[in-house]
């Protein structure tokens, strides 16, 4: 009786996993990822503990030949363990990070999930589990579908539309989840005996199709098409009379395709906005820059596979591969953005777990197909069921060619694998063939191990995610520092983001602390900087082959060197940034930072060499031109600096900051008024559109003091350059940003019109405001 009750508890734990995509708790770092991943792990651990507490003992009659998926799953997890141990970043491979929560530990939980499903699930339990999956997916669609309601009917709590990923948080992860659950809904609609549940499944199928369309993810839409084709071919191939079936289903598919075509034509004609919403992402498919960036990442993964063909760089280590084989063409697409995944699960397997990981994963899929085929031959599956399940697997496999495994989808996928096996192989038995004392001792020992894992890999990461979120929230320095210290002292293994975020906190706090008169606060900041130096080295120790670790450490030591005026910190920064360039010689970021450090150390020749290399590597990366402009200004070449900034803007807008203002300052001081006016206007128009339209902007933009300074001096620059027409236009346009200058602008316009504007030429700005000048680039005014 006790064992039956515990088994029921385990079954409930497995049923609860269906709610994983609905778990979204604010106040945690990466709330779309951390909370639901840890929820899933807790559910699996509850199921495992309940079975173990029932009194283990030893597995009896586990024949791998009856469960080939189990065999390949065991092999895959073992390969991941070995690949992680010999990989480039062992810590990250085992535990992942808060952004993805992947790694060996994640796959180990998925394996236990599969194993527990095979142990506790009875034949009648599978429809219940699938209904729960479908109900959860319907909830996700309903939550996100509110974006299609009129504004007055929307619930203010529903802030995440389908195009933003609903509760999943990413449309590219939402659509495949709906796609794979759609397969379950179709299976339920075909197999349910109750008219109520059959109708529910059919209605849910329509809801899920609507959700897939609303998510606008091409990979999933392509998976839906390919899956439908595979399902049709499977159905025809397994029918007793293939010719008749081919004719019948062929006519049905043709009619369906024609109906869909007519429907699409009608929508595009009479509701073009809806057509653009659903199908707009297919426009320019071959020229999409994001698709181009994917192929860049794919090539990087293939190069990584050639480096380590057997076991790869280790799970979750795509960024290490990217460091080694960085392709600067990515800057033409994403700027300084990065992909933390290959966006092709199959190539990522090759790069991070080698041929061993790739073939064992393929083995899992192949075992599912073989089990399905044999089940049809043994009449355990009908041809219709086999077609639905094959279509679902095929659609998900197509999606994975452009994306990656995600907790929301992979839970359903593993459940589907366990269901396919359960039709052919009996449930795994846990037999009590030991003495009572032995059973209780072993069960409690294993149960204690599960509790320990749940605490170390569940409770602690959850606490760390909560604390890190608190540390990033606005607040007083002392409180945020205390929260960061809690995270850094935590035993949670997800540490990848902690130090970069801690550095950002210190960098933002340093200017305030430098003006602080309380010696206790300054002492506290000194201790925080000492802890930062320690954490920088720890971060490198955990990720020695990732150039980002060295770049982050270099940034920190530059901050320390500038704050304390201590050259020793700058020299440590030099060592780390030089090593980052050595690891990833084709990534410009390290070279740009190194050039800035060299400028601070007055080693201009080496700084020029690094900037020159960065410009040749990534001619489309605007940051390189900004740093090059800084160097030119240091060499008293403001015209060259302006030219470089103009080139930078041809690739990407650059900020209206003190660095750019420094160039304008110097040009104005040296009498290069036309050049200064050209640069100033281009900077402003990049940010706010054509000058003639500034006064039409609604709502009127709120400029920072530095941004306002650009607009404030533009009329004077044009006037000094002898261009009275543009001077008047600039003065009138300035009123969009400073309405109080109306009378002064009118006087200026009048003076220019009658030729009496000489007094204005001696001014730097049109309207008296607090003085702001460029600091980062200015060598003289």
For the stretch 236-263, pLDDT in tens is 887 766 666 666 666 666 766 676 667 6
Amino acid 289: pLDDT: 46
User: Residue 534 — very low, low, confident or very high, per pLDDT cuts 50/70/90?
Assistant: very high
Q: Of residues 645 and 526, which shows the higher confidence score?
A: 526
User: Residue 191 — very low, low, confident or very high, per pLDDT cuts 50/70/90?
Assistant: very high
Amino acid 112: pLDDT: 95
Residue 572 CA to residue 567 CA, distance in Å, equals 9
Q: Do the Cβ atoms of 221 and 285 come closer than 8 Å?
A: no
For the stretch 580-625, pLDDT in tens is 999 999 888 888 888 888 877 878 778 878 878 887 887 767 667 7
Backbone angles phi, psi at 60, to 5 degrees: -120, 140
For the stretch 514-527, pLDDT in tens is 888 888 999 999 99
Residue 608 CA to residue 223 CA, distance in Å, equals 50
In the predicted model, is pLDDT for residue 780 greater than 50? no
Q: Do the Cβ atoms of 312 and 305 come closer than 8 Å?
A: yes
Closest CA to 68 of 430, 418, 396: 418
Amino acid 769: pLDDT: 67
Percent of the chain past pLDDT 90, that is, above it, reads: 42
Give Cβ neighbours of residue 604 (< 8 Å, ≥ 6 apart): 598, 631, 634, 635
Amino acid 551: pLDDT: 94
Mean pLDDT of the chain: 84
Say whether 454 sits in a helix, a strand or coil. helix
In the predicted model, is pLDDT for residue 279 greater than 80? no
Is 619 domain-assigned?
A: no
In the predicted model, is pLDDT for residue 61 greater than 80? no
> Taking residues 70-75, what's their average pLDDT?
95
| Lowest mean pLDDT, pick from 135-139, 235-239, 284-288, 395-399 | 284-288
User: Residue 439 — very low, low, confident or very high, per pLDDT cuts 50/70/90?
Assistant: low
Sign of CA dihedral 471, 472, 473, 478: positive
Say whether 59 sits in a helix, a strand or coil. strand
> Taking residues 127-145, what's their average pLDDT?
94
> Taking residues 721-740, what's their average pLDDT?
88
Amino acid 156: pLDDT: 54
User: Residue 155 — very low, low, confident or very high, per pLDDT cuts 50/70/90?
Assistant: low
User: Residue 100 — very low, low, confident or very high, per pLDDT cuts 50/70/90?
Assistant: confident
Domain end marker among 413, 431, 449: 431
Write b or e for each residue in 633-668: b if 16 or more Cβ atoms lie within 10 A of its Cβ, otherwise e: bbeeebbbbbbbbbbbbebbebebbbbbbbbbbbbb
What domain count does the chain have? 2
Residue 478 CA to residue 521 CA, distance in Å, equals 8
Residue 603: count of CB within 10 angstroms of its CB: 15
Is 680 domain-assigned?
A: yes
| Lowest mean pLDDT, pick from 35-39, 97-101, 179-183, 186-190 | 97-101
Please report the beta strands in 268-427, taking only residues with DSSP state E, as ranges in sequence order. Answer: none
Helices and strands (H and E) in the chain: how many: 34, 2
Distance between start and end Cα atoms, the chain: 87
> Taking residues 216-243, what's their average pLDDT?
84
Cis peptide leading into residue 625 (ω within 30°): no
For the stretch 399-428, pLDDT in tens is 999 999 999 999 999 999 999 999 888 777
Is 329 domain-assigned?
A: yes
Say whether 60 sits in a helix, a strand or coil. strand
Is 678 domain-assigned?
A: yes
> Taking residues 149-158, what's their average pLDDT?
57
Structure tokens of 675?
Answer: 């050049």
Q: Of residues 653 and 616, which shows the higher confidence score?
A: 616
Is 258 domain-assigned?
A: yes
For the stretch 294-338, pLDDT in tens is 888 899 999 999 999 999 999 999 989 998 998 888 776 666 556
Amino acid 776: pLDDT: 37
Is 451 domain-assigned?
A: no
Amino acid 50: pLDDT: 84
Containing structural domain, residue 680: 655-781
Give Cβ neighbours of residue 776 (< 8 Å, ≥ 6 apart): 630, 657, 658, 659, 662
Domain end marker among 431, 450, 469: 431
Is 704 domain-assigned?
A: yes
Structure tokens of 414?
Answer: 């593993």
Domain end marker among 431, 460, 480: 431
Amino acid 779: pLDDT: 30
User: Residue 775 — very low, low, confident or very high, per pLDDT cuts 50/70/90?
Assistant: very low
Is 81 domain-assigned?
A: yes
Amino acid 663: pLDDT: 81
Amino acid 768: pLDDT: 79
Residue 684 CA to residue 655 CA, distance in Å, equals 9
In the predicted model, is pLDDT for residue 24 greater than 70? yes
Closest CA to 580 of 326, 270, 378: 326
Residue 289 CA to residue 333 CA, distance in Å, equals 6
């Amino acid at each position: 009786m006790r064992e039956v009750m515990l088994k029921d508890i385990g079954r409930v734990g497995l049923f609860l996993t269906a709610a994983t995509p609905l778990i979204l708790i604010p106040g945690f770092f990466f709330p779309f990822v951390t909370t639901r991943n840890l929820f899933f792990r807790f559910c699996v651990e509850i199921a495992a503990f309940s079975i173990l507490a029932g009194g283990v003992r030893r597995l009896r009659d586990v024949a791998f030949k009856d469960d080939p998926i189990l065999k390949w799953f065991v092999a895959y997890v073992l390969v991941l363990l070995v690949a992680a141990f010999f990989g480039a970043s062992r810590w990250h491979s085992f535990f992942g990070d808060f952004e993805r929560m992947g790694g060996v530990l994640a796959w180990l939980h998925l394996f236990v999930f599969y194993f527990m499903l095979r142990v506790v699930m009875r034949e009648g339990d599978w429809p219940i589990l699938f209904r729960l999956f479908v109900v959860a997916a319907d909830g996700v669609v309903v939550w996100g579908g509110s974006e299609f309601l009129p504004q007055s009917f929307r619930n203010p709590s529903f802030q995440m539309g389908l195009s933003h990923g609903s509760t999943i948080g990413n449309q590219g992860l939402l659509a495949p989840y709906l796609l794979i659950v759609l397969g379950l809904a179709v299976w339920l609609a075909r197999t349910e005996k109750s008219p109520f549940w059959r109708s529910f499944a059919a209605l849910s199928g329509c809801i899920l199709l609507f959700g897939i369309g609303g998510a606008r993810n091409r990979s999933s839409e392509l998976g839906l098409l390919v899956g439908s084709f595979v399902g049709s071919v499977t159905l025809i191939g397994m029918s007793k009379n293939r010719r008749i079936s081919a004719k019948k289903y062929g006519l049905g598919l043709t009619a369906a395709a024609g109906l869909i075509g007519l429907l699409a034509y009608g929508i595009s004609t009479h509701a073009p906005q809806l057509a653009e919403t659903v199908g707009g992402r297919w426009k320019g498919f071959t020229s999409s820059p994001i698709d181009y960036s994917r192929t860049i990442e794919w090539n990087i993964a293939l190069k990584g596979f050639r480096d380590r063909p057997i076991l790869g760089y280790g799970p979750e280590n795509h960024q290490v591969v990217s460091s080694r084989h960085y392709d600067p063409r990515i800057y033409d697409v994403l700027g300084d953005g990065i992909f933390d995944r290959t966006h092709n699960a199959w190539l990522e397997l090759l790069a991070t777990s080698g041929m061993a990981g790739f073939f064992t994963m393929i083995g899992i899929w192949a075992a599912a197909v073989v089990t399905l085929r044999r089940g049809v031959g043994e009449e355990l599956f009908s041809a219709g069921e086999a077609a639905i399940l094959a279509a679902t697997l095929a659609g998900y496999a197509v999606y994975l060619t452009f994306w990656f495994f995600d907790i929301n989808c992979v839970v359903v996928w593993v459940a589907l694998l366990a269901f396919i096996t359960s039709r052919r192989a009996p449930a795994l038995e846990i037999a009590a063939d030991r003495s009572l004392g032995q059973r209780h001792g072993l069960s409690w020992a294993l149960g204690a191990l599960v509790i320990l894992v749940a605490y170390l890999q569940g409770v602690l990461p959850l606490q760390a995610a909560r604390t890190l979120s608190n540390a990033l929230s606005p607040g007083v320095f002392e409180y945020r520092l205390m929260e960061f210290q809690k995270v850094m002292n935590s035993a949670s293994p997800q540490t990848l983001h902690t130090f970069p975020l801690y550095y950002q906190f210190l960098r933002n706090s340093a200017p305030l602390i430098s003006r602080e008169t309380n010696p206790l606060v300054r002492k506290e900041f000194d201790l925080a900087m000492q802890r930062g130096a320690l954490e920088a080295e720890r971060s490198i120790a955990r990720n020695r082959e990732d150039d980002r670790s060295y770049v982050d450490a270099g940034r920190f030591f530059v901050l320390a060197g500038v704050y304390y005026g201590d050259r020793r910190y700058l020299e440590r920064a030099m060592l780390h940034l030089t090593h980052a360039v050595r690891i990833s010689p084709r990534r410009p970021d390290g070279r740009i930072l190194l050039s800035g450090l060299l400028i601070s150390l007055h080693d201009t020749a080496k700084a020029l060499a690094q900037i020159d290399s960065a410009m040749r590597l990534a001619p489309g990366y605007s940051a390189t031109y900004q740093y090059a402009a800084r160097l030119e200004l240091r060499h008293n070449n403001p015209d060259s600096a302006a030219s470089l900034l103009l080139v930078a803007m041809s690739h990407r807008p650059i900020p209206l900051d003190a660095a750019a203002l420094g160039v304008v300052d110097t040009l104005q001081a040296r009498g290069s008024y036309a050049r200064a006016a050209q640069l100033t206007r281009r900077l402003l128009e990049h940010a706010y559109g054509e000058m003639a339209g500034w006064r039409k902007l609604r709502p009127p933009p709120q400029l920072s003091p530095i941004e306002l300074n650009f607009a404030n001096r533009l009329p004077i620059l044009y006037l000094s350059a002898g261009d009275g027409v543009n001077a008047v236009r600039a003065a009138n346009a300035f009123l969009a940003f400073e309405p109080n200058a109306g009378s002064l602008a009118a006087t200026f316009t009048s003076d220019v019109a009658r030729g009496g504007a000489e007094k204005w030429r001696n001014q730097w700005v049109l309207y008296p405001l607090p003085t702001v000048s460029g600091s980062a680039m200015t060598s003289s005014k």
